[in-house]
Amino acid sequence: MQKMDGRKLNEIDKNIEKMKEIFPEVFTESKIDVEKLKLLYGEHLIKENKEYEFSCHRK
């Protein structure tokens, strides 16, 4: 498990506060509502679904 230092956590908090200023409508109870984000900005989101599969063909 990766340890988080206080500096990293502060950066995350600062970024969330910036998002609240720019996109207040996507927050519900101080959390990002991903469904609202998709509804409002969905056409601008990257929708790549990268899945990899390994298969072995037997004779």
> Is 26 within 8 Å of 32 (Cβ atoms)?
yes
**Quick one: DSSP state of residue 4?**
-
pLDDT at 58: 73
The model's pLDDT over 14-42, given as tens digits with 9 standing for 90+, comes to 999 999 999 999 998 889 998 898 888 88
CA neighbor of 37 nearest in space, from 12, 57, 20: 20
pTM above 0.75, yes or no: no
